[in-house]
Amino acid sequence: MSFPLLTATAAVPALGAVATAAVPAARRTAAKWLALAFSLATLLLAAVQLVRFDPEAKGPFQLTESHAWIADFGVRYELGVDGIAVVLIALTALLVPFIVLAGWHDADPLETKSTRWRPTQGFFALILMVEAMVVIAFEATDVFLFYIFFEAMLIPMYFLIGGFGDRAGERPEAETATQRSYAAVKFLLYNLVGGLIMLAAVIGLYAVTAHQLGTGTFSLTEIVQARANGELEFATTTERALFLGFFFAFAVKAPLWPLHTWLPNAMGEATAPVAVLITAVVDKVGTFAMLRFCLQLFPEASKWATPVILVLSLISILYGALLAVGQRDIKRLIAYASISHFGFIVLGIFAMTTQGQGGATLYMVNHGISTAALMLVAGFLISRRRSRLIADYGGVQKVAPVLAGTFLVGGLATLSLPGLAPFVSEFLVLVGTFSRYPAVGVIATVGIVLAALYVLVLYQRTMTGPVKEAVRGMPDLRVRELVVVAPLIALLLFLGIYPKPLTQMIDPAVEHTMSQVEKGDPQPDVRVNDVEAAK
């Protein structure tokens, strides 16, 4: 048997979580280094996955592992990656070391607490735990296996949001604690409700397969194959109901309007690195699952629901951007910007074109990197002034030019400036949408203007103008902070100029998904070849 690479990629951070949690209270610096080491080891494994993955290979999944697990219900421990998953795993593994580094001091215990209290160990262990679960969710090709980790990741996330926040500045500690637990509970309840509805659909799926195939199965490959062979056929209403059950859970996680309101609370109250973990890593499981499960398990229902979903994503794009413009809190602004971006991702997925879905997948990666850059720098800024309010800043550019510069680059990436990675994916999504639904594509471009508005207003109010008294003497980026930001910016530039390595990975997987839905790309009116032939 070959080395179980996929299992290892999830097991290493899980082991890391246990090891980090076990570090004695007094040795919290050791715990940090340990967490960093484990996250880097995971990154190494993800890199090996990327190398071992062969975009040319036949078949939907590679590096597969399959073991019987709960034989009674046909639940199997089945892992496998396609081009989409392997890229998203790489993104996750890439971001976590930066999250760890950026949050280096976020969980240092306050002097007043007793020594038995070990928040630092807990903080980093929880981060690694989330990573492990996200990785396995990306790898799972068994619906039930996926569901378990899709839900289980709520637990460490819940404690990360509720247990750790920004150091109180002018607000009293008790008030921030209340806000924080409100945000954490809201996060949990929204996602639990989504998860419960999905659970019903998962059970329903099992019932249908058990009924039609004789033995029930959760295996994505088996179900897809059985459908292709005609052994398994969903009644229209059943398929739609099951689809809605899955989609609802993913739309909460993504999040899509109007199920988005947990995100600004969660991202606002959590520390910046945790906010990045939410939006750049955990939320991606939602959009990823739409591609992998909704479209592949329920292609007919997906097409049926497309018009409504397109409208919801359009609303998300515009609504999120408009609300971002109206925010007074830096982190909430970034959260609403993310809602707008998730709108683009879902739009791309349901445009059902190669460009739309390829763009959407690329968008997930690029949004992860750009939001990480912007949010982490915002976090560094907030840690200096101990306030999240935009109005408390002004003229930072003068005192901390490097911080301001990196913040600007993060912002420019967020508004999808050409030359930076997000432009490529956003444009692909727009083109992909436009080629099937021109009106939708045109309306979505309004989001481009609004993105420029919220980013530049944020930059202007915080970084330019006369230097505010409270900002005077603010130190510029420290070495640790630079180590976090510089590679992210380099990556944004690189993927903006040369996204081909990623699109090569993603393309075949998207083609496979498209073939499941049986949709081809719309064809142009005047073919280039005709033009050339006419010469």
For 334, residues 6+ apart whose C-beta sits below 8 A from its C-beta are 267, 275, 279, 324, 371, 374, 375, 378, 414
Binding to another protein by residue 530, rule CB under 8 A? yes
Beta-bridge partners for 142: 219
* Min CB(90)–another protein separation in Å: 18
Instruction: Please report where in the chains the tokens 């390829």 appear, as a residue.
Output: 358
Question: What are the angstrom distances between the C-alpha of 415 and each of 65, 83, 239, 351, 381?
Answer: 40, 26, 38, 22, 20
Beta-bridge partners for 452: none
The contact pattern for another protein, residues 109-138, with x = CB under 8 A and - = no contact, is: ------------------------------
Chosen residue from 162, 343, 348, 422 binding another protein by CB under 8 A: 162
Tell me whether the omega of the peptide bond preceding residue 501 falls within 30 degrees of 0, making it cis: no
The contact pattern for another protein, residues 355-394, with x = CB under 8 A and - = no contact, is: x--xx-----------------------------------
Chosen residue from 11, 456, 470, 482 binding another protein by CB under 8 A: 456
* Min CB(101)–another protein separation in Å: 21
CB nearer another protein, residue 279 or residue 355: 355
Query: 3-state DSSP call for residue 184?
Result: helix
Estimate to the nearest angstrom the gap between the alpha carbon of 414 and the chain centroid: 15
For 350, residues 6+ apart whose C-beta sits below 8 A from its C-beta are 302, 306, 309, 310, 313, 356
CB nearer another protein, residue 92 or residue 435: 435
Size of the site for another protein (CB under 8 A): 97
Question: Residues 485 to 514: which contact another protein by CB under 8 A?
Answer: 497-500, 503, 507, 511
CB nearer another protein, residue 12 or residue 455: 455
CB nearer another protein, residue 38 or residue 407: 407
Binding to another protein by residue 350, rule CB under 8 A? no
Question: Residues 52 to 111: which contact another protein by CB under 8 A?
Answer: 70, 72-73
Secondary structure of 454-508 in HEC code, one letter for each residue = HHHHHHHHHHCCCCCHHHCCCCCCCHHHHHHHHHHHHHHHHHHHCCHHHHHHHHH
Binding to another protein by residue 476, rule CB under 8 A? no
Longest dimension (CA), the chain: 82
Candidates 312, 332, 323, 266; CA nearest to 451 is 323
Q: Give the tokens for residue 305.
A: 């629901």
Chosen residue from 104, 124, 146, 158 binding another protein by CB under 8 A: 158
CB nearer another protein, residue 9 or residue 265: 265
Binding to another protein by residue 532, rule CB under 8 A? yes
Chosen residue from 129, 346, 417, 440 binding another protein by CB under 8 A: 417
Binding to another protein by residue 315, rule CB under 8 A? no
